[in-house]
Structure 1
Amino acid sequence: MITSTAWRGKRYAVLGLARSGAATVCALVASGAEVVAWDSDAQRCESLVESVQELAVNLDAVSLQIADLETIDLADFDAVIVSPGVPINKHPIAAKARAANVPIIGDIELFAQARAELPPHKVVGITGTNGKSTTTALIHHILETAGIPARLGGNIGLPILGQEPLPEGGVYVLELSSYQIDLTQSLDCDVAILLNITPDHLDRYADFQAYADSKARLFAMQLPDHTAIIGIGDAPSAAIARSLSARGEHLTKIAPGVCMDQSRWPSLQGPHNAQNALAAINAAQALGVPEAAIDRGLETFAGLPHRMQRIGERGGVAYVDDSKATNPESVAPALAAFDRIHWILGGLAKSDDLDACRPHFDRIAHAYTIGEAGPRFAELLRPHMPVDESGTLDVAVTTAAENARPGETVLLSPACASFDQFRDYEARGDAFRAAVEALS
């Protein structure tokens, strides 16, 4: 794990003990910090205590207390560390910390504080409303293809503090949500990437501009001679790029609609993946990766589960799992990537319209709506295409399979969150695969 002498002897409160929170506590305790931790899930608290007890075998002493942070005085703490899932715009811990004049940070900020003691390395930070997981994984894959030591972390993969430090010359590749950026104060990325900004997570921000401002902070933390790569296909991202124009050669703008030969990249199809690939290419070039290794990385990238993942073919019909597409803006590129689509959509809606998808309605042979948003989406789509209100995913898959013809695509790209019917988007994607595999 990553540790730091900067944390030794300090006192931290940690709220939220899922993967990143548990890794944070272990890293702090192993560094000689005093930690008070809490999670409303008692099982997580018990698991953390067991993990720290295992650590204690190799340490002279450890200091961990499990206590509800809302019941203790925070005045003498050096920081309150919260998991990104904690809504600091609403949670009482935020007001309590501010009243005690204690900073609220996350594990990425702790990583930033630990960097000075790590072997010389570089950091790539990737943010954006859509495409950041694919771009993060692609950059990591290109680096590994080139034989460069790399770690994947942040909003993807294992918690960064729980991983072993890289040797000299390594690269940490971090997917960063706006929530994580909000909790970070000093992460100076050698390469910072913004793919796009579209409305999302607005329950956590005063308005859309506040959400965009959160993304912009990734560049405010950078030294001006470090590389910034920004997609300028939307107005907020373009405005951020303009604000950085003084960086000159250290700023790369990616315009929408760039024509690229994607035929040799089987897992990077569609116009959105052209942008993702171009961002990754520019990042790799900034890191000094040879062009031949970049080409090999693009060709051999396997893609990510539930992100335009082709899961099979039945009777000449392709079945594609894009369950990660939880808003209309992230669905639009998937619709643009195929010609004759049987579109399965619905769930817990993040917006009341499908306007971002409208330019691609001519590609849809038939739509099948599911979940809470099903009736509303069916109403929106009926003037433009045949629609079945299927209600559930298994019914939608069965009906789509009956209607689809060879050469067509059955696409799960829901434009919604999954929580009305599934644990998360991954469970929804797994259910789609199971339904496809159950077809006769």
Structure 2
Amino acid sequence: MIPVQGFEGQKVAVLGLGRSGLATAAALRAGGAEPLCWDDSPESRARAEEAGFACHDLTRADAFEGVAALITSPGIPHLYPAPNKIIARAMAEGIPVDNDIGLFFRSWATADWDAFDTMPRTICVTGSNGKSTTTALIHHILQETGRPTQMAGNIGRGVLDIEPAEDGEVVVLELSSYQTDLARALTPDIAVFTNLSPDHLDRHAGMGGYFAAKRRLFAEGGPDRAVIGVDEPEGIYLANQLATAREDDRVIRVSSTRKLGDYGWSVFARKGFLSEWRKGRQVASIDLRAVTGLPGAHNHQNACAAYAAVRALGLAPREIEAAFHSFSGLPHRSQTIAEIGGVRWVNDSKATNVDSAAKALDAFDNIRWIAGGLGKEGGVTALGQHLSKVRKAYFIGHSARDFALDLDGLDHEICETMEAAVAACAREAEAGDTVLLAPAAASFDQYPNFEKRGEHFTALVAALGG
């Protein structure tokens, strides 16, 4: 773990005792602080006490006497739609409020680094969509090219739960808006902004607050390099704010929709080809069409962002290209799980809304589409313009018949269960087809989460292969 610096001999309150909260308490203790833990859940408090931490009721009138800081878990609101009462009281009493991301950046560098030949680096990835895949892809490229690396944050391990830095190590962090919004220290070496679309708007009081939370990684952090997706107005604005001139190559612009050849440094994908341009000249190109772990334009944007981030570290295009081909993708995100008799089976159980399902439907040809679950407000009528490559749909779950009505005219079958849908696809699919699970719905009618839904689909497909 990363021992937290700056609180030796002091009491630090920890609010929220999930994965990140317990890791924070352990890291504070390792740094010589006295963590005072609290969670509204008796079960969470019991787990903390079993782990040897003292629970301290932060709702008491004297709760913050002698407390140096309050560290809160990302999921607890501190401002909108209404601040948590404990956080609001700490702020009113002048107690500094931070989160584990802020503690990480104040504690990551140590005196041991003086003996290193190459300083450790941090790459931080934020945005609305694709940040998990981009983070995992950067980490994979570094592993494949022999660089010491760890991955943490909103993906994998808590940031304080990773190991202290090695010589030349690169830590790759996925950061959500909840994490960037409150962190008191943000000092990435390379920061990546993938894109922006409406999400968590109640937590940030609208799109402006949501974008402002993402922007803090760049405005507060002052990265040496900024990789900015410019396919939305917010990305264009952010790149313009950070660059001192068109030729400023500290900002690497990224696009999956258009050519970007007139800037100091840009990386873009068109018609399945990634191109890198520097000072008005193309310097590298990669054919992404055969990279099975990164299908579709949305994944090509992820590939461009990851490519730009590791190029900023000095990696060569050819070694990046080789690593692309060994990337299998993240589970439940356009993940090819099998090819049986010329039929490709793809698990995109994470496609729980219309926007993400549309991206999946645009990414493949000759689709046999498994969709449905607990439908969301507004239905799926908007998917009508993304069905040109769907040969047949197989609807499951609570919303099966609603989907059929919304997409009237589409050849379909009401299967209701995943077992029935997979069996029907196995009977009817032909060589060259892609069976795509992209539900466009939540999983809670039949599964506890999208992961369990994807795992069930994967197990049923594996049984076909046996």
TM-score (norm 1): 0.88
Which segment is superposed worse, 73-82 or 303-312?
A: 73-82
Q: State the shift of 1:315 in Å.
A: 4.2
Q: What per-residue deviation string (whole Å, max 9, x for no partner) do you get for residues 129-176 of structure 1? A: 111111111111111222221110001111121121121221110011
Counterpart residue number, 1:206 = 205
Q: 1:21 to 1:419 in 2, by over 3 A?
A: farther
Counterpart residue number, 1:387 = 412
Match of 1:108 among 101, 107, 111: 101
Q: Does 1 or 2 have the higher relative contact order (CA < 8 Å, sep 6+)? A: 1
Q: State the shift of 1:372 in Å.
A: 4.6
Q: Secondary structure at the match of 2:388?
A: helix
Take 2:436 and 2:58, find their aligned partners in 1: how far apart are those partners?
A: 45
Take 1:278 and 1:314, find their aligned partners in 2: how far apart are those partners?
A: 30
Counterpart residue number, 2:277 = none
Q: State the shift of 1:354 in Å.
A: 4.2
Name the amino acid aligned to 1:198: S
1:435 is the counterpart of 2:460 = yes
Name the amino acid aligned to 1:271: A
Work out the percentage of aligned pairs sharing the same amino acid.
Answer: 43
Which segment is superposed worse, 342-351 or 268-277?
A: 342-351
Counterpart residue number, 2:232 = 234
Task: Show structure 1 runs of 5+ residues with no match.
Answer: 53-63
Counterpart residue number, 2:250 = 250
1:281 is the counterpart of 2:307 = yes
Match of 2:323 among 282, 297, 304: 297
Q: Secondary structure at the match of 1:78?
A: strand
Alignment of 1:20-419 (within 5 A): 20-52=20-52, 64-71=53-60, 73-76=62-65, 77-88=67-78, 89=80, 90=82, 91-117=84-110, 119=113, 120-223=119-222, 226-246=224-244, 248-257=248-257, 258-259=269-270, 260=273, 261-349=287-375, 351-354=377-380, 357-383=383-409, 385-419=410-444
Q: Secondary structure at the match of 2:295?
A: coil
Take 1:356 and 1:244, find their aligned partners in 2: how far apart are those partners?
A: 36
Take 1:324 and 1:315, find their aligned partners in 2: how far apart are those partners?
A: 26
Which segment is superposed worse, 10-19 or 186-195?
A: 10-19
Question: More helix per residue: 1 or 2?
Answer: 1
Q: State the shift of 1:251 in Å.
A: 0.8
Q: Secondary structure at the match of 2:188?
A: coil
**Does structure 2 retain, via aligned residues, the 8 Å contact 1:341–1:364?**
yes
**Does structure 2 retain, via aligned residues, the 8 Å contact 1:323–1:429?**
yes
Take 2:411 and 2:311, find their aligned partners in 1: how far apart are those partners?
A: 46
Counterpart residue number, 1:58 = none
Counterpart residue number, 1:421 = 446
Q: Secondary structure at the match of 1:168?
A: coil
Q: State the shift of 1:298 in Å.
A: 1.5
Take 1:287 and 1:188, find their aligned partners in 2: how far apart are those partners?
A: 16
Q: State the shift of 1:409 in Å.
A: 1.5
Name the amino acid aligned to 2:54: Q
Q: Secondary structure at the match of 2:109?
A: helix
Q: CA RMSD in A?
A: 2.5
Take 1:350 and 1:192, find their aligned partners in 2: how far apart are those partners?
A: 33
Q: Secondary structure at the match of 1:400?
A: helix
**Does structure 1 retain, via aligned residues, the 8 Å contact 2:48–2:55?**
no
Q: 1:343 to 1:114 in 2, by over 3 A?
A: same
**Does structure 2 retain, via aligned residues, the 8 Å contact 1:151–1:166?**
no
Take 2:12 and 2:45, find their aligned partners in 1: how far apart are those partners?
A: 16
Q: State the shift of 1:244 in Å.
A: 2.3
Q: State the shift of 1:74 in Å.
A: 4.4
Q: State the shift of 1:317 in Å.
A: 2.6
Q: State the shift of 1:72 in Å.
A: 5.4
Take 2:235 and 2:415, find their aligned partners in 1: how far apart are those partners?
A: 37
Task: Show structure 2 runs of 5+ residues with no match.
Answer: 114-118, 258-268, 274-286
Counterpart residue number, 2:15 = 15
Q: What per-residue deviation string (whole Å, max 9, x for no partner) do you get for residues 250-293 of structure 1? A: 11111223221114523122212211111111111111223343
Name the amino acid aligned to 2:335: Q
Q: State the shift of 1:357 in Å.
A: 4.2
Q: Secondary structure at the match of 2:170?
A: strand
Q: Secondary structure at the match of 1:267?
A: coil
Q: Secondary structure at the match of 1:219?
A: helix
Which segment is superposed worse, 126-135 or 195-204?
A: 195-204
Q: 1:380 to 1:315 in 2, by over 3 A?
A: same
1:5 is the counterpart of 2:5 = yes
**Does structure 1 retain, via aligned residues, the 8 Å contact 2:328–2:335?**
no
TM-score (norm 2): 0.84
Q: State the shift of 1:41 in Å.
A: 4.4
Counterpart residue number, 1:56 = none
Take 1:11 and 1:297, find their aligned partners in 2: how far apart are those partners?
A: 46
Q: 1:372 to 1:177 in 2, by over 3 A?
A: farther
Q: 1:18 to 1:194 in 2, by over 3 A?
A: same
